Amino acid sequence: MKLKNFSERGNAMKLDRMKSLLWAWLIALNLGFLNGKTNFVLFLADDLGYGDVGYQGGDVPTPNIDSIAKEGVIFTDGYVSCPVCAPSRAGLLTGRYQQTFGFWDNVGPYRVSEEVKPGVPLDVPILPEVLKPLGYKCGVFGKMHGGRDEEMMPFNRWDEFFGFNNGASNYLPGLNGDHNPIFHGKKIVSKSYSSRGLRHNEFIERGVISRDSDKYLTDQLGDQAISFIERNQDHPFLCYIPFNAVHGPFQAPKELYDRHDSETVHQRRLVKAMIESMDQNIGKVLDTLEQLGLEENTMVIFLSDNGGHESSPNTPLRGKKGTFWEGGLRVPFCFKWPARFQTKKVYWKPVISLDIFPTVLTAAGGAIEPEWKLDGVNLLPFLKWPNKEFPHETLYWRWGSRKAIRDQYFKVMTQDNGKTYKAFELSRDRSESNDVFADRPIRVAELIEKYEVWETGLMPQQWGWNSSLGYKDPGFGKPKPYHEPGYFDSDQNSSNE
C-alpha cells in the first residue's frame, strides 16, 4: 500500500531506523560489546598434564581452574601445536603453525646462519600487536620463550611485561644466574643470591623453600597480573599469564609442600604443591575480575603449553611431553565468557591452541587479514547449537623426526620420520592402545598423502638444538647487553629483590 503523505513516509523511515538501531543493539548485546569491548585473560600452564586438573579427575584439588570449566566450555580434544614449550607458545600467539615461519624447536645454540634471529619474526604479528590498534592494553606476566634479540623481547612487543625470557626459571628469582633475570618492563628486578654472597642452601633444600617464600615466583606473577587488571579496568585489556608452573625445577614453599604429606613420592609432592599455588593465583585473578565488575564481559581461557612431564599424569592418555602420543599433544583446555555462554558445555570436536588468536581477535571486534595466513579458526560459531561442522577437518604436527595428522577422529603418526607408522581411532581409543594401521591401509595412505601436501608449505627449520643446522652461537646462554644496568637510557635498570 502506498503512503498517503510525507508524514506517514517520515514515520515509516523513523520506524525502519528504530528497527535498525534495535537490531544493532541486539547484535552488540549478543557479542558482549554493550558495556565496552570484551576483556581477555589467558592462563597458560607449563607442562601441566591432561590428568592434572580436578575437572578431569586429577588428584590435586584445582577449584579455581575447575570453575572456568564448570562455568564455560570444556574442550575434551584440545591440542597444542607442539609437545614442547617455545614452538607451542609461538603457535598460540600467532595463530599459525609455527613451522611456517621456521620456528620448529626451542631456541637453542644452533641456527642455519649467523644472520638468523631465533624467535617470532617481527613481520609475523602476535596477538597483542593486532589488539593494540583496537584500543587494548596488553600485558604479559610469566614465562616468555620466543627469542632473545632485543627487538623481539616482550618489553618491546607488549605494553607491560613482568617475568623472564628463557626456557625455565627458579621459583625464587635470586637462584637464577645473571643471564636469566626477572624483568618488569625493561627493568631487571631480581638479583642473584650468589652476587650478594648468599648460599642457595640457605633458601632451599631438595626443592623445598624455607626462606624468601614471599618472593615465590608464581605468587609474583599472580600479583602483577592483578595490578595490571586494576590499573586498566577502564580500558579493554589482554592479560596473558604464562606460568612457569609446573615446569622444572620442582620447587615449592614448605607450607604448601607440608600440606601434601600423603604423597610419598618427593617429586610428585613438590609438583602437587606447585599446582596448588598456581590454582590459588588463578583464583586471585578471577576474584579480582568479579570484584571490579569485569567478570561478565571477560573471556577467560585456560590451557597447558604441552602435555605433562614424568611427574604430571596425562591419564587416560598415552605418552607425555615431547612425544606425539595424545599425552604430549592433548592438554587441559577450557574457557568461559559469561556474556555469551551461561551454562556448562562440553565440546568434543578437535580444536587447537592456534584457534585462540582468531577467536580473541573476532571477539574484540577485529578483522582477520588474509596476509596473516592464519591456520587457526574463530571457534565461536562452532560453539552454537546446533553446529555439526568440525572447526578443523585436519590437524597437523611436526617436530624433529615425529609427524602426526588427525583427520576428524582418525590419527596417523610416525616417530621415525616415516619409516614406520601407527594409526588410531581416537573416538573409541583415546588411550591409543589399539593400532589399526594394518586394518585401514587406504585411510592411512590418504592421510599420509594429505600430510605430505601440508609439509610442502613449511619453512625449513631455522634454529634449535640440532648441530647439523650449522652455525653455533657463541653467546648462547650468556647475558645480553640489555642485561647490563644503565643499558636503557630512559629507563634505568635496577636490582632490588
> What pLDDT sits at residue 23?
42
* CB neighbour list of residue 446: distance below 8 Å, 6 or more residues apart: 407
Residue 150 burial (C-beta neighbours within 10 Å; 0-12, 13-18, 19+): middle
pLDDT digits 0-9 by tens, 151-171: 999 999 999 999 999 999 999
Question: What is the side-by-side order of every strand in the sheet holding 137-144?
Answer: 187-188, 183-184, 160-165, 137-144, 237-242, 39-45, 298-304, 333-336, 73-75, 345-347
pLDDT digits 0-9 by tens, 82-101: 999 999 999 999 999 999 99
The two counts, helices (H) then strands (E), for the chain are 11, 22
413 pLDDT above the threshold of 70:
yes
Task: Tell me the average pLDDT across 410-427.
Answer: 97
**Measured CA distances, 352 to 89, 91, 294, 494 (Å):** 12, 10, 27, 40
pLDDT digits 0-9 by tens, 109-124: 999 999 999 999 999 9
The set of cell numbers assigned to 73 is 566450555
Query: For the domain 35-392+460-483, what is the CATH code?
Result: 3.40.720.10
Task: Tell me the average pLDDT across 345-356.
Answer: 97
pLDDT digits 0-9 by tens, 424-436: 999 999 999 999 9
> What pLDDT sits at residue 147?
84
Task: Tell me the average pLDDT across 173-194.
Answer: 94
The set of cell numbers assigned to 43 is 592462563
Task: Tell me the average pLDDT across 407-418.
Answer: 96
Q: Catalogue the E-assigned strands of 183-310.
A: 183-184, 187-188, 204-205, 208-209, 237-242, 252-253, 298-304
pLDDT digits 0-9 by tens, 2-48: 334 434 444 544 445 454 444 434 444 444 343 469 999 999 999 99
Task: Tell me the average pLDDT across 216-238.
Answer: 98
Helical residues (DSSP H) of 292-337, grouped into ranges? 326-329
How far is 360 from 362, CA to CA, in rounded Å?
Answer: 5
> What pLDDT sits at residue 342?
84
